[in-house]
Structure 1
């Protein structure tokens, strides 16, 4: 086993943001334009001046207002930049160059890290889908006939993906029976989001084994849901206005390489999926999630229990020839485990009770940790949103 690298950055060694993590984000300081940085401990490393000083070939990508230019460079550059940044933060001779460009997190504003091209959300947890089916179809089959044959999903709205910390305005719309007004059943969905770096060609599917060639990293994701609006509109074409008003993501994109120690076998798939979904060959992720409402942890969903894998979702998304673009985002769907204290939405936690949903002023935070390659645990960025009253 390799000896873990040790960083010279004060307070970073042994933290959730040690050098085996190094997530990317977009930050700004007062009076300055947003630009790309990487988090280590409680600091952001301003990559643009360091890359320029070292005459890195891709130094210009760190001056951009999103990660898209960096992500578009592809897997080889992504891995090379990660090695370079790791060296900067672990090799003592680099310290004099790098240390002046470490900015305390308390001194920066964090922004949406990716210019989102398209957004697709899946429904990949068997436990969540079963719970929802039992709530809404108590006398019927919990899972619909197609559910174990393909990763079910819907196409969302890229323009309403927002950074953690952005207020979430209670949506207004039609409710069951044709009533109209602010949603009375505002919910959260604890999810994991996957960010596409390398685009694909229209008409050519992305095979499941090419997942790491196309996916740059992961984000925490909250797919806010207005359950009453959703219930009235989703038959026959599926989610629309009950989902499209806001989707919150973490300000940090954790590179796929940081999750090398987190891959685990899927719980099992029966019946065996079709060959393009790589049955028996794709993996899940061992990521622990906490749902925190107004400071209290109310549930701990485990991502390792998900039925469909990240690679299977990408393969299914493109099997018809649909292309992916740099900045595409796809969500896992609500993460729920088999136990009551592992449910990933208020709909499930309260089993459909009206009092289970969010009130104006409530604040929700999703927290994520995973095994790190250094032997400890790393954290994905938190996802936070506070509910504001409906407008108009």
Structure 2
């Protein structure tokens, strides 16, 4: 079977059981049940899991063990103090991570674009999540392409595919092109990919893949890897291990010396346990958590959200960052610094009238002219 970029417009519409007038609302509802919503579901960590994770740090586990030893020895003062420290530390970390999770969820909801769709032969505006295979969508300058589509009409169409290919230069698209099956993604002039956006021109297109079946969805599926330890959590685990080994060696030596001196076994055991409890740095987890929270707040003020507190420290541990610059770590925006003209009154009028962009979306040059 031919892939979509190697089909004519008529073949594409026929295979997708669609037409230039789109599909009916009833048919769309059936297809939504088959293909699902047009969204990439991010794995959401439960609130309980976030709370429990605050107490799985090796240093915290040592403190919890020390608190039970203190309770066993009848030292209620130390027991309440250590439990209080652990609980407060857990609450601080939980609050910060839960707040980040909520804000990220809200931002994702706000970022769901609207799209013009032909349903029952009429143009309606829908959430991009509600479009499905076979839908005919209308794209204009500045629109985000909501799913993988085969263009069926194009007029001076330029698409920014930097999100997918890394190339910041907009790509020309032509609906009438029929390409060989082995054409690479970045050369498929008749295809639009979900997540890319229209820089210039207008188009009509038929949706052929949604959600995880899009190119972006496939990339997301491949990149779903197990979370790795951050440098900080790795350091804490290493420190906790060294602390335990050091304490065991020192206290074992003291225990042996006590036995050689003929001291009572019960007294020696109580001494060793008491020393173990007093050697654990109760305040260290709180100091670490507060430092991370301060870092997270600083990043938040710079419009960066941290999902898990230890990640605050990760960037500080980076020695080299290798990345493409244009459109990746820059905003891919232009700015008019100075205008030279014999007639300064006519220039703003030309900038405004010879322009199809909006203030925040469209061709970077035209957007700069508007601003």
TM-score bracket for the superposition, by shorter chain length: under 0.3
Instruction: Determine which structure has the larger helix proportion and give its number.
Output: 2
Instruction: Determine which structure has the larger strand proportion and give its number.
Output: 1
TM-score by length of 1: 0.22
The higher radius of gyration belongs to 2
